[in-house]
Structure 1
Protein backbone atom coordinates (compact mmCIF):
# COMPACT_ATOMS: atom_id res chain seq x y z
CA UNK A 1 0.00 0.00 0.00
CA UNK A 2 1.56 3.30 -0.97
CA UNK A 3 1.10 6.50 0.97
CA UNK A 4 -0.83 9.37 -0.57
CA UNK A 5 1.31 11.87 -2.44
CA UNK A 6 -0.35 14.86 -0.81
CA UNK A 7 0.28 16.16 2.70
CA UNK A 8 -2.77 15.52 4.84
CA UNK A 9 -3.72 16.50 8.35
CA UNK A 10 -4.88 13.61 10.51
CA UNK A 11 -6.65 14.24 13.81
CA UNK A 12 -6.62 11.42 16.35
CA UNK A 13 -9.64 11.86 18.63
CA UNK A 14 -9.11 9.32 21.36
CA UNK A 15 -8.77 8.45 25.00
CA UNK A 16 -5.87 7.18 27.12
CA UNK A 17 -5.07 4.43 24.59
CA UNK A 18 -4.08 7.14 22.09
CA UNK A 19 -2.92 9.75 24.61
CA UNK A 20 -0.06 7.48 25.71
CA UNK A 21 -1.23 7.07 29.29
CA UNK A 22 1.55 6.14 31.69
CA UNK A 23 4.45 7.03 29.39
CA UNK A 24 6.05 10.09 27.83
CA UNK A 25 3.89 11.31 24.91
CA UNK A 26 6.80 10.96 22.49
CA UNK A 27 6.79 7.18 23.07
CA UNK A 28 3.10 6.64 22.29
CA UNK A 29 1.76 5.17 19.07
CA UNK A 30 0.61 8.54 17.74
CA UNK A 31 4.17 9.89 17.84
CA UNK A 32 5.42 6.70 16.19
CA UNK A 33 2.76 7.24 13.52
CA UNK A 34 4.20 10.71 12.91
CA UNK A 35 7.57 9.06 12.34
CA UNK A 36 5.99 6.62 9.84
CA UNK A 37 4.08 9.35 7.97
CA UNK A 38 6.41 12.38 8.04
CA UNK A 39 4.70 13.94 5.00
CA UNK A 40 1.48 14.31 7.01
CA UNK A 41 0.58 16.41 10.02
CA UNK A 42 -0.68 14.17 12.82
CA UNK A 43 -2.59 16.02 15.54
CA UNK A 44 -3.17 14.13 18.78
CA UNK A 45 -6.46 15.34 20.21
CA UNK A 46 -6.61 12.46 22.68
CA UNK A 47 -7.23 12.88 26.41
CA UNK A 48 -6.95 10.20 29.07
CA UNK A 49 -10.34 9.39 30.56
CA UNK A 50 -12.21 10.84 27.59
CA UNK A 51 -15.72 9.65 26.82
CA UNK A 52 -17.61 10.04 23.57
CA UNK A 53 -19.53 12.95 25.15
CA UNK A 54 -16.26 14.68 26.07
CA UNK A 55 -14.83 14.08 22.59
CA UNK A 56 -17.99 15.49 21.06
CA UNK A 57 -17.72 18.64 23.22
CA UNK A 58 -14.09 19.18 22.22
CA UNK A 59 -14.43 18.29 18.55
CA UNK A 60 -15.64 21.64 17.12
CA UNK A 61 -12.54 23.44 18.46
CA UNK A 62 -10.25 20.64 17.28
CA UNK A 63 -11.78 20.74 13.80
CA UNK A 64 -11.44 24.53 13.63
CA UNK A 65 -7.84 24.56 14.82
CA UNK A 66 -6.49 21.60 12.83
CA UNK A 67 -8.78 21.49 9.76
CA UNK A 68 -8.14 17.75 9.33
CA UNK A 69 -8.48 15.73 6.16
CA UNK A 70 -9.05 12.62 8.28
CA UNK A 71 -10.42 12.16 11.79
CA UNK A 72 -9.54 8.87 13.49
CA UNK A 73 -12.14 8.27 16.21
CA UNK A 74 -10.80 6.04 19.00
CA UNK A 75 -13.42 6.65 21.68
CA UNK A 76 -15.87 4.60 23.69
CA UNK A 77 -13.69 2.62 26.09
CA UNK A 78 -14.46 4.92 29.00
CA UNK A 79 -18.16 4.92 28.11
CA UNK A 80 -18.07 1.12 28.35
CA UNK A 81 -16.04 1.01 31.55
CA UNK A 82 -18.62 3.33 33.14
CA UNK A 83 -21.49 1.19 31.87
CA UNK A 84 -23.04 3.94 29.74
CA UNK A 85 -25.91 2.74 27.53
CA UNK A 86 -24.84 1.62 24.03
CA UNK A 87 -27.52 3.87 22.47
CA UNK A 88 -25.85 6.89 24.16
CA UNK A 89 -22.48 5.75 22.78
CA UNK A 90 -23.98 5.41 19.29
CA UNK A 91 -25.67 8.80 19.48
CA UNK A 92 -22.45 10.57 20.48
CA UNK A 93 -20.41 8.77 17.82
CA UNK A 94 -23.06 9.64 15.22
CA UNK A 95 -22.71 13.32 16.10
CA UNK A 96 -18.88 13.10 16.03
CA UNK A 97 -18.88 11.49 12.57
CA UNK A 98 -21.44 13.98 11.25
CA UNK A 99 -19.49 16.97 12.59
CA UNK A 100 -16.26 15.73 11.04
CA UNK A 101 -17.86 14.95 7.68
CA UNK A 102 -19.68 18.30 7.65
CA UNK A 103 -16.25 19.94 7.91
CA UNK A 104 -15.06 17.96 4.88
CA UNK A 105 -13.01 15.38 6.80
CA UNK A 106 -13.00 11.67 6.15
CA UNK A 107 -13.58 9.49 9.21
CA UNK A 108 -11.93 6.27 10.33
CA UNK A 109 -13.75 4.67 13.24
CA UNK A 110 -11.86 2.30 15.50
CA UNK A 111 -13.77 -0.51 17.11
CA UNK A 112 -13.75 -0.60 20.90
CA UNK A 113 -14.65 -3.61 23.01
CA UNK A 114 -15.47 -3.90 26.69
CA UNK A 115 -14.11 -6.57 29.01
CA UNK A 116 -16.16 -9.80 29.09
CA UNK A 117 -17.24 -9.25 32.70
CA UNK A 118 -19.79 -6.69 31.42
CA UNK A 119 -21.83 -9.60 30.14
CA UNK A 120 -22.48 -10.90 26.63
CA UNK A 121 -25.60 -8.80 25.99
CA UNK A 122 -23.97 -5.47 26.86
CA UNK A 123 -20.72 -6.39 25.10
CA UNK A 124 -22.58 -7.37 21.92
CA UNK A 125 -24.72 -4.21 21.89
CA UNK A 126 -21.65 -2.08 22.54
CA UNK A 127 -19.57 -3.59 19.73
CA UNK A 128 -22.51 -3.67 17.32
CA UNK A 129 -22.87 0.12 17.62
CA UNK A 130 -19.51 0.53 15.85
CA UNK A 131 -20.41 -1.87 13.05
CA UNK A 132 -23.80 -0.22 12.56
CA UNK A 133 -22.18 3.22 12.31
CA UNK A 134 -19.58 2.01 9.83
CA UNK A 135 -22.40 0.66 7.65
CA UNK A 136 -24.68 3.68 8.07
CA UNK A 137 -21.96 6.18 7.18
CA UNK A 138 -20.09 3.92 4.71
CA UNK A 139 -16.82 4.48 6.58
CA UNK A 140 -14.01 2.11 7.42
CA UNK A 141 -13.98 0.41 10.81
CA UNK A 142 -10.57 -0.61 12.11
CA UNK A 143 -10.74 -3.67 14.38
CA UNK A 144 -9.93 -3.05 18.05
CA UNK A 145 -6.15 -2.77 18.25
CA UNK A 146 -6.08 -3.89 21.88
CA UNK A 147 -7.51 -7.36 21.19
CA UNK A 148 -4.16 -9.08 20.74
CA UNK A 149 -2.18 -6.70 22.93
CA UNK A 150 -4.41 -7.10 26.00
CA UNK A 151 -3.96 -10.88 25.82
CA UNK A 152 -0.15 -10.48 26.17
CA UNK A 153 0.68 -9.37 29.72
CA UNK A 154 4.19 -8.35 28.62
CA UNK A 155 2.59 -5.59 26.50
CA UNK A 156 0.38 -4.22 29.27
CA UNK A 157 0.92 -1.82 32.14
CA UNK A 158 0.31 -3.07 35.67
CA UNK A 159 -3.27 -1.80 35.63
CA UNK A 160 -4.13 -4.42 32.98
CA UNK A 161 -6.00 -1.78 30.95
CA UNK A 162 -3.33 0.32 29.25
CA UNK A 163 -0.67 -0.81 26.78
CA UNK A 164 2.94 -0.25 27.79
CA UNK A 165 5.80 1.27 25.79
CA UNK A 166 6.62 -2.08 24.13
CA UNK A 167 3.09 -2.26 22.71
CA UNK A 168 3.20 1.14 21.01
CA UNK A 169 5.05 0.06 17.86
CA UNK A 170 2.61 -2.83 17.45
CA UNK A 171 -0.33 -0.43 17.70
CA UNK A 172 1.32 1.87 15.15
CA UNK A 173 1.82 -1.00 12.71
CA UNK A 174 -1.78 -2.12 13.30
CA UNK A 175 -3.21 1.36 12.63
CA UNK A 176 -0.89 2.42 9.80
CA UNK A 177 -2.58 0.52 6.93
CA UNK A 178 -6.04 1.57 8.14
CA UNK A 179 -5.05 5.23 8.23
CA UNK A 180 -3.25 5.04 4.89
CA UNK A 181 -6.25 3.37 3.27
CA UNK A 182 -8.63 5.99 4.73
CA UNK A 183 -6.43 8.77 3.33
CA UNK A 184 -6.46 7.10 -0.10
CA UNK A 185 -10.28 6.89 -0.23
Structure 2
Protein backbone atom coordinates (compact mmCIF):
# COMPACT_ATOMS: atom_id res chain seq x y z
CA UNK A 1 0.00 0.00 0.00
CA UNK A 2 2.87 2.36 0.79
CA UNK A 3 4.31 1.75 -2.68
CA UNK A 4 0.98 2.67 -4.26
CA UNK A 5 0.87 5.93 -2.25
CA UNK A 6 4.41 6.83 -3.38
CA UNK A 7 3.49 6.09 -6.99
CA UNK A 8 0.42 8.34 -6.79
CA UNK A 9 2.40 11.10 -5.12
CA UNK A 10 4.99 10.97 -7.89
CA UNK A 11 2.26 11.10 -10.54
CA UNK A 12 0.61 14.10 -8.85
CA UNK A 13 3.90 15.99 -8.52
CA UNK A 14 4.16 18.56 -11.33
CA UNK A 15 6.95 18.03 -13.80
CA UNK A 16 9.75 20.53 -13.59
CA UNK A 17 11.93 21.80 -16.37
CA UNK A 18 15.60 21.32 -15.59
CA UNK A 19 16.83 24.64 -16.92
CA UNK A 20 20.53 23.86 -16.75
CA UNK A 21 20.04 20.74 -18.91
CA UNK A 22 18.17 22.31 -21.83
CA UNK A 23 21.14 23.55 -23.89
CA UNK A 24 23.33 20.51 -23.07
CA UNK A 25 20.52 18.19 -24.27
CA UNK A 26 20.18 20.19 -27.49
CA UNK A 27 23.95 20.15 -27.93
CA UNK A 28 24.08 16.36 -27.50
CA UNK A 29 21.17 15.80 -29.90
CA UNK A 30 22.79 17.93 -32.61
CA UNK A 31 26.17 16.23 -32.14
CA UNK A 32 24.53 12.80 -32.37
CA UNK A 33 22.99 13.84 -35.72
CA UNK A 34 26.41 14.76 -37.12
CA UNK A 35 26.27 18.53 -36.68
CA UNK A 36 29.23 20.19 -35.02
CA UNK A 37 27.59 22.48 -32.49
CA UNK A 38 29.47 24.99 -30.36
CA UNK A 39 28.37 26.92 -27.29
CA UNK A 40 29.52 30.45 -27.97
CA UNK A 41 27.58 32.14 -25.15
CA UNK A 42 25.58 31.17 -22.07
CA UNK A 43 22.38 31.24 -24.05
CA UNK A 44 23.36 30.12 -27.56
CA UNK A 45 24.40 27.06 -29.51
CA UNK A 46 25.68 27.63 -33.05
CA UNK A 47 26.04 25.03 -35.82
CA UNK A 48 25.90 24.74 -39.59
CA UNK A 49 23.03 23.08 -41.39
CA UNK A 50 23.65 22.73 -45.13
CA UNK A 51 26.06 25.67 -45.11
CA UNK A 52 23.83 28.00 -43.10
CA UNK A 53 24.56 28.97 -39.50
CA UNK A 54 21.69 28.09 -37.18
CA UNK A 55 21.55 29.39 -33.61
CA UNK A 56 19.52 27.96 -30.74
CA UNK A 57 18.70 30.52 -28.07
CA UNK A 58 17.57 29.58 -24.57
CA UNK A 59 17.56 31.83 -21.53
CA UNK A 60 16.84 30.61 -18.02
CA UNK A 61 15.18 33.99 -17.37
CA UNK A 62 12.55 32.95 -19.92
CA UNK A 63 12.55 29.18 -19.33
CA UNK A 64 9.45 28.28 -21.30
CA UNK A 65 10.68 29.70 -24.60
CA UNK A 66 13.10 28.14 -27.11
CA UNK A 67 14.09 29.74 -30.40
CA UNK A 68 16.12 28.64 -33.41
CA UNK A 69 17.24 31.36 -35.81
CA UNK A 70 19.22 31.85 -39.02
CA UNK A 71 20.19 35.24 -40.46
CA UNK A 72 21.25 36.18 -43.99
CA UNK A 73 22.91 39.51 -44.64
CA UNK A 74 21.04 41.78 -47.02
CA UNK A 75 24.03 41.73 -49.38
CA UNK A 76 23.17 38.10 -50.22
CA UNK A 77 20.06 39.44 -51.96
CA UNK A 78 21.46 42.74 -53.26
CA UNK A 79 20.25 41.99 -56.80
CA UNK A 80 16.65 41.46 -55.61
CA UNK A 81 14.28 44.38 -55.13
CA UNK A 82 13.19 44.79 -51.52
CA UNK A 83 9.50 44.41 -52.40
CA UNK A 84 10.10 40.84 -53.55
CA UNK A 85 11.89 40.00 -50.31
CA UNK A 86 8.97 41.31 -48.26
CA UNK A 87 6.47 39.40 -50.42
CA UNK A 88 8.50 36.20 -50.08
CA UNK A 89 8.66 36.73 -46.30
CA UNK A 90 4.88 37.14 -46.15
CA UNK A 91 4.32 34.03 -48.26
CA UNK A 92 6.75 32.09 -46.06
CA UNK A 93 5.01 33.21 -42.87
CA UNK A 94 1.64 32.22 -44.31
CA UNK A 95 2.69 28.84 -45.68
CA UNK A 96 5.12 27.63 -43.03
CA UNK A 97 2.86 28.40 -40.04
CA UNK A 98 5.24 27.93 -37.06
CA UNK A 99 8.09 29.98 -38.46
CA UNK A 100 8.83 33.62 -39.05
CA UNK A 101 10.62 35.31 -41.92
CA UNK A 102 11.32 39.02 -41.68
CA UNK A 103 13.74 41.83 -42.43
CA UNK A 104 15.38 43.18 -39.27
CA UNK A 105 16.41 46.76 -38.46
CA UNK A 106 19.75 46.36 -40.26
CA UNK A 107 18.03 45.08 -43.41
CA UNK A 108 19.17 41.49 -42.88
CA UNK A 109 16.81 38.60 -43.51
CA UNK A 110 15.94 36.57 -40.42
CA UNK A 111 14.25 33.19 -40.22
CA UNK A 112 13.17 31.74 -36.91
CA UNK A 113 11.20 28.90 -35.42
CA UNK A 114 10.00 29.22 -31.87
CA UNK A 115 8.46 26.86 -29.38
CA UNK A 116 7.16 26.82 -25.87
CA UNK A 117 9.23 24.52 -23.72
CA UNK A 118 6.95 23.18 -21.02
CA UNK A 119 7.91 20.88 -18.17
CA UNK A 120 8.06 17.29 -19.37
CA UNK A 121 8.77 18.25 -22.98
CA UNK A 122 11.43 15.96 -24.46
CA UNK A 123 14.03 18.59 -25.38
CA UNK A 124 16.24 16.62 -27.80
CA UNK A 125 13.44 15.52 -30.19
CA UNK A 126 11.93 19.01 -30.07
CA UNK A 127 15.28 20.56 -30.97
CA UNK A 128 15.70 18.24 -33.94
CA UNK A 129 12.17 18.99 -35.10
CA UNK A 130 12.84 22.73 -34.87
CA UNK A 131 16.01 22.18 -36.89
CA UNK A 132 14.01 20.46 -39.64
CA UNK A 133 11.31 23.13 -39.54
CA UNK A 134 13.82 25.96 -39.92
CA UNK A 135 15.56 24.22 -42.81
CA UNK A 136 12.17 23.74 -44.51
CA UNK A 137 11.30 27.40 -43.94
CA UNK A 138 14.52 28.63 -45.50
CA UNK A 139 14.11 26.24 -48.44
CA UNK A 140 10.54 27.45 -48.99
CA UNK A 141 11.68 31.09 -49.03
CA UNK A 142 14.44 30.35 -51.53
CA UNK A 143 11.94 28.63 -53.84
CA UNK A 144 9.30 31.34 -53.45
CA UNK A 145 11.53 34.37 -54.04
CA UNK A 146 12.50 33.50 -57.65
CA UNK A 147 8.90 32.47 -58.36
CA UNK A 148 7.71 35.93 -57.36
CA UNK A 149 10.35 37.62 -59.50
CA UNK A 150 9.49 35.47 -62.54
CA UNK A 151 5.77 36.08 -62.05
CA UNK A 152 6.39 39.84 -62.00
CA UNK A 153 8.56 39.66 -65.12
CA UNK A 154 5.83 37.69 -66.98
CA UNK A 155 3.25 40.32 -66.00
CA UNK A 156 5.56 43.09 -67.21
CA UNK A 157 6.07 41.32 -70.54
CA UNK A 158 2.33 40.82 -70.96
CA UNK A 159 1.62 44.49 -70.21
CA UNK A 160 4.26 45.54 -72.72
CA UNK A 161 2.79 43.28 -75.42
CA UNK A 162 -0.69 44.61 -74.75
CA UNK A 163 0.49 48.21 -74.90
CA UNK A 164 1.75 47.63 -78.47
CA UNK A 165 -1.55 46.21 -79.63
CA UNK A 166 -3.61 48.82 -81.37
CA UNK A 167 -6.85 48.85 -83.23
CA UNK A 168 -8.69 46.41 -80.99
CA UNK A 169 -12.17 45.67 -82.33
CA UNK A 170 -15.10 47.32 -80.62
**TM-score computed with the length of structure 2 as normaliser:** 0.30
The structure with higher relative contact order (CA 8 Å, sep 6+) is 1
Q: Which has the higher helix share?
A: 1
Structure showing greater Rg? 2
Q: Which has the higher strand share?
A: 2
